[in-house]
Structure 1
Amino acid sequence: MHVDRTTTRPHGRRWLGGALALAVGSGIVLVGGAGTAQAADVNVARNAGFENGLANWACSTGSGAAVSSPVRTGTGALRAAPAGLGNAKCVQTVTVKPNSTYTLSAWVQGGYAYLGASGTGTGTGSVSTWSPDSPSWKQLTTTFTTGASTTSVEIYTHGWYGTSPYLVDDVSVFGPDGGGVPDPDPVVPTTPAGLAAGGTTSSSVDLSWGAVSGATSYKVYRDGASPQTVSGTSATITGLAADTAYQFQVSAVNSAGESAKSAAVTARTAKNQTGPGPAVPKHAVTGYWQNFDNGAAKQKLRDVQAAYDIIAVSFADSTATPGQIVFNLDPAVGYSSVAEFKSDVAAKKAAGKSVIISVGGEKGNVTINSDASATAFANSTYALMQEYGFNGVDIDLEHGINSTYLTKALRQLSAKAGSGMVLTMAPQTIDMQNTGTEYFKTALAVKDILTVINTQYYNSGSMLGCDGKVYSQGSVDFLTALACIQIQGGLDPSQVGLGVPASTRGAGSGYVSPQIVNNALDCLTKLANCGNFKPAQAWPSLRGAMTWSTNWDATAGNAWSNAVGPHVHGLP
């Protein structure tokens, strides 16, 4: 792939005639000692924040659209999707002044994104800069100088062939006014309407309200004070006292100022309730229970082997609403009713087990890439916890995650569920190779509420260990040297588990005998039974092991849980 890596250092304030030129409302400032007038820099781009759809912009056929989420500021942003031989190019012609320098800037997110200008009249006639995939908003900036007779320049954005859609917001082309018609100066936004209270817990209240045109953020007031600034049109207010009435108001904000506060709504937090279930033991065994029939032994939840401390019900289903999940009990499992299943959940919890709902899997996916989808995930997951009695959630997304919004979703869920919530994850090995991956970033961002990450040490081939050496899948060294990466990367040893198949039929590749799993556990916790790799220290608090699945374990005569279960529970 050929890419233009041109970068230039952006400039901000410009020194004119020996004095600093400052933009003022009149567009004129006085600089220098003689009182000569110079026009202040203006943004010559129109509809720069896409608040008016695609007005003033032209995108290649069908590739661009204005969206309301995610946005960086205001209520709009550009989403453009490359397809086939197209790179989703969107352009605008701006009016400029000859022999002048302009700073071109925009905020981007998503797939590969390019920002540039053509027809500048100097040099090659074009400049550009770009960014690879970015899960959060990132600013691109470059500069260009116009030629002696240049009065208009085309600015553009585009993606790259066959890559993910990209988003753009807050475009600016700052420089001398070329005589065009600039966007009007912002005015103080109107007061938000439609403020409503939604779900409550003993310590939080969900709020939502209508979008206000021109607003770049909102302030949420609790009992007239303590404003909390948010970018979207919803918020979960946390840190509240149980069984207490609170009054909320919201205002809209932009660079021109803050609106009046909305009409107030009152919401009462829920009463304190008992915790969601038993505590996870110091050393725990996690098993996935299949809510479907794929040839493995069919189990009801009550049949899950006693060795499993955490039972991940696999899987939740996504809905047409981004971020929202539901649970559909598969008739193939053999339950006569949902009530019977709920009774089994309660019985397992009474036996000291944690039963959690798993999200994702090989074929399942939930999209959490905006404030709205994060809230939808938190609300729907908490609803399932209340309805079925689940102790928490397992994140088993294998088709890409957005650490920014998944973190928001999990924090909102934690605020609702309380400190007893069980949170597990099952990333693939490639997702935990370094702290720069989205999975690893998410794990570190929620470290204070994370129970355990059971990385899937299978279906991956050879991988790098924490010592920089390559290790073959299926060996003691593979398990120990890769687990070491997570601890060195900042996770507590108690948050690390070894995920392996329960039988040769449980995964496409990477099955290891229970003895290799036990040796790896001994190596990590006691520096015993290691292979060629030996950690610099022992981590006796390592959480334990996970397997896919309790059903495949039963198919193989419970060989895995009978061997690994007692070993995990006997760790120091």
Structure 2
Amino acid sequence: MDRAPGTPRPRTRRIATWSAAGALALAVAGLAATPAAAADVNNARNAGFESGLADWTCTAGSGTTVSSPVHSGAAALKATPAGQDNAQCTQTVAVKPNSTYTLSAWVQGGYAYLGVTGTGTTDVSTWTPDTASWKQLSTSFTTGGSTTSVTLYTHGWYGQAAYYADDVSVYGPDGGSSGDPAPTVPSAPAGLAVSGTTSSSVSLSWSAVPGATGYDVYRDGTKVTAVTGTSATVAGLSAATSYSFQVTATNSAGESAKSAAVTGTTATSGTGGGGGTLPKHAVTGYWQNFNNGAKVQKLSDVPSAYDIIAVAFADATSTPGAVSFSLDSAGLGGYTTDQFKADVKAKQAAGKKVIISIGGQNGTVSVSDTASANNFASSVYSLMQTYGFDGVDIDLENGLNATYMTQALRSLSAKAGPSLIITMAPQTIDMQSTSNSYFQTALNIKDILTVVNMQYYNSGSMLGCDGKVYSQGSVDFLTALACIQLQGGLSPSQVGLGLPASTSAAGSGYVSPTVVDNALDCLAKGTNCGTFKPSRTYPDLRGAMTWSTNWDATSNNAWSNSVGTHVHALG
């Protein structure tokens, strides 16, 4: 969300030019890595960049090695696109003719591509949108009858952020290039511990294992999930029940022995999580704890059309992952903390929910390990106790780690109980694919998630669920992008449409309240659609969100008077 009027989001997205190729690449990216045969080797050299850029060539000086972040070892590649250069790094790899190879790499950061050329058959590639945590790209290829070498490459995308790559591999028959040695089976994980519980889930964390590329989680001796990070949440459990958990480390060489077991006991069943006493269809509005030219409000001034009021924003502290909140009394005309707390209680007495929002356009809260996840949960819970907040809104626009944000929100849920409200406000690019960190986080906490109010503004053109490109500012843009979330695993009651309250509230993407109303009708009832019409209706669609109640008030509450009334009349 914008703290200053009319400030566009960073990072221009070049989506329209490669939508069809992107859809194909996403399908390729979903391929599982093929286990290497016993005699296979990694034919790539300096695959973990432990020797700097030796054996690699990067265009326009775009590549360097860094010590953090790394997937394993002490170094990783960082390559930064600039201008017309997409930061391509290549290596010539010796291979055998008429042989099949598995190509893989771990990537993080901006858009990242992995592929080979010169195979003598069909050249292959795979890619992923930006990701805040390490993700494995994998595909395979077969060499031609006279092929003795291929060109391995990674690259980013024009105008996008730097990408990181590590642990690149071309596994298959030894091509004679003296590539990196094949990995050995990793050791068993240590430090397994229960980091949080709810009535239906147990969250776990453990120490990283050198050489591991993933981890398998076992419940009572049966494998229940596989993850790439050092934490996991096992859901679908019975309330007030004890379970035994173990973890193993894996890589292409095999699976380690099981860790020592820990016992996790789920909480007693409550009244259900995520929604509390919210109405079936709800309106969310952000309330500004600062003066940026919009009408200054007390919390008591927010119209009754708003069911969830997100107080913007909590700020990062010097403790990693922790946040704090302090009322801007001077900027709000002398509004005192005691008045604010009383207004929170009054809104709750009227059936409203008041939550604290984390992030915004300038927010830089980083939850990137177990310690910072615990700090986040503890600090948010402290704010809930101090000010009476009903929950938290995640509006981090500068990166989100799905593994540890999931852990943080699970821990917060364990502290706050089943009445906790959790909302999220990702940008459109963050919900284009279930592989994106925001989408992953939403799915990871689906059982305790209230609503995702994606921001349909400051984004430019994006892909809809039908694979077509839509420009912001139309009914089609709202409905075709909401469809991705609805088909991607979120419940209709967890999907809301986030729009600016006025032309001053965002750099671009404002639409009239009528367009929002029509999009709601299209999704919920199949009426008032544009050229795109969903294959089914979603009568339980949660509703809509706006930035902000202050900009709405500046326009005489035109947005909430129209959209709020329409949302509550959906039935």
TM-score tier after normalising by the smaller chain length? 0.5 to 0.7
Deviation, 1:252, is: 3.8
Q: 2:478 aligns with which of 447, 459, 482?
A: 482
* Structure 1 residues 81 and 523: CA distance shift in structure 2, 3 A: closer
Deviation, 1:424, is: 3.7
- CA contact under 8 A between 1:53 and 1:76: conserved in structure 2? no
Q: 1:293 aligns with which of 284, 291, 294?
A: 291
Matched residue SS, 1:546: strand
**Deviations 1:343-391 (CA, angstroms, capped at 9, x unpaired):** 54444334321223334434446678xxx56995587257514641544
What's the RMSD between the two structures over aligned residues?
Answer: 5.5
Unaligned runs of 5+ in 1: 10-21, 25-39
User: Which residue does the alignment assign to 1:190?
Assistant: 187
- CA contact under 8 A between 1:278 and 1:352: conserved in structure 2? no
Q: Output the TM-score relative to the length of structure 2.
A: 0.67
Say whether residues 1:215 and 2:212 are aligned partners: yes
Matched residue SS, 2:232: strand
Letter of the structure 2 residue corresponding to residue 65 of structure 1: T
Deviation, 1:83, is: 4.8
- CA contact under 8 A between 1:247 and 1:264: conserved in structure 2? yes
Matched residue SS, 2:287: strand
Q: How does 1:172-321 map to 2 (within 5 A)?
A: 172-176=170-174, 178=176, 183-184=180-181, 186-201=183-198, 204-220=201-217, 229-238=226-235, 249-254=246-251, 258-262=255-259, 278-317=276-315
Deviation, 1:23, is: 5.8
Of 546-555 and 203-212, the range deviating more from structure 2: 203-212
Letter of the structure 2 residue corresponding to residue 315 of structure 1: F
Matched residue SS, 2:355: strand
* Structure 1 residues 290 and 366: CA distance shift in structure 2, 3 A: same
Who wins on radius of gyration, i.e. which is larger?
A: 1
Q: How does 1:68-467 map to 2 (within 5 A)?
A: 71=71, 78-84=76-82, 88=87, 103=101, 105-107=103-105, 109=107, 110-116=110-116, 129-134=124-129, 135=131, 136-142=135-141, 157-159=154-156, 162-163=159-160, 164-176=162-174, 178=176, 183-184=180-181, 186-201=183-198, 204-220=201-217, 229-238=226-235, 249-254=246-251, 258-262=255-259, 278-317=276-315, 324=321, 326-331=323-328, 332-333=331-332, 334=334, 336-337=336-337, 341=340, 344-364=343-363, 372=368, 376=372, 380-381=376-377, 383-385=379-381, 387-388=383-384, 389-397=388-396, 412=410, 416=414, 420-426=419-425, 451-456=450-455
Distance in 1, matches of 2:65 and 2:389, equals 40
- CA contact under 8 A between 1:384 and 1:390: conserved in structure 2? no
Say whether residues 1:65 and 2:65 are aligned partners: yes
Letter of the structure 2 residue corresponding to residue 305 of structure 1: P
Distance in 1, matches of 2:496 and 2:327, equals 29
User: Which residue does the alignment assign to 1:549?
Assistant: 548
* Structure 1 residues 523 and 297: CA distance shift in structure 2, 3 A: same
* Structure 1 residues 209 and 362: CA distance shift in structure 2, 3 A: closer
- CA contact under 8 A between 1:433 and 1:482: conserved in structure 2? no
> Of the two structures, which has the highest relative contact order with CA contacts closer than 8 Å and spacing of 6 or more?
2
**Deviations 1:204-235 (CA, angstroms, capped at 9, x unpaired):** 55443333323344455567776754433333
Distance in 2, matches of 1:87 and 1:516, equals 38
- CA contact under 8 A between 1:113 and 1:166: conserved in structure 2? no
- CA contact under 8 A between 1:217 and 1:230: conserved in structure 2? yes
- CA contact under 8 A between 1:457 and 1:479: conserved in structure 2? no
Deviation, 1:549, is: 1.6
- CA contact under 8 A between 1:102 and 1:176: conserved in structure 2? no
**Deviations 1:92-136 (CA, angstroms, capped at 9, x unpaired):** 676778x78674723354524354478x9xx9xx99654454454
- CA contact under 8 A between 2:93 and 2:150: conserved in structure 1? yes
- CA contact under 8 A between 1:203 and 1:415: conserved in structure 2? no
Distance in 1, matches of 2:355 and 2:73, equals 36
Letter of the structure 2 residue corresponding to residue 301 of structure 1: L
- CA contact under 8 A between 1:222 and 1:249: conserved in structure 2? yes
Q: Give percent identity, aligned residues only.
A: 50
Distance in 2, matches of 1:457 and 1:102, equals 44
* Structure 1 residues 201 and 480: CA distance shift in structure 2, 3 A: same
Q: Output the TM-score relative to the length of structure 1.
A: 0.67
Matched residue SS, 1:315: strand
Matched residue SS, 1:554: helix
Distance in 1, matches of 2:480 and 2:184, equals 55
Letter of the structure 2 residue corresponding to residue 326 of structure 1: V
* Structure 1 residues 275 and 390: CA distance shift in structure 2, 3 A: farther
Distance in 2, matches of 1:175 and 1:184, equals 13
Letter of the structure 2 residue corresponding to residue 79 of structure 1: L
* Structure 1 residues 270 and 91: CA distance shift in structure 2, 3 A: same
Distance in 1, matches of 2:432 and 2:254, equals 46
Distance in 2, matches of 1:378 and 1:486, equals 32
Distance in 1, matches of 2:343 and 2:427, equals 30
* Structure 1 residues 238 and 69: CA distance shift in structure 2, 3 A: farther
Letter of the structure 2 residue corresponding to residue 482 of structure 1: L
Distance in 2, matches of 1:249 and 1:470, equals 46
User: Which residue does the alignment assign to 2:505?
Assistant: 506
- CA contact under 8 A between 2:116 and 2:150: conserved in structure 1? no
* Structure 1 residues 512 and 326: CA distance shift in structure 2, 3 A: same
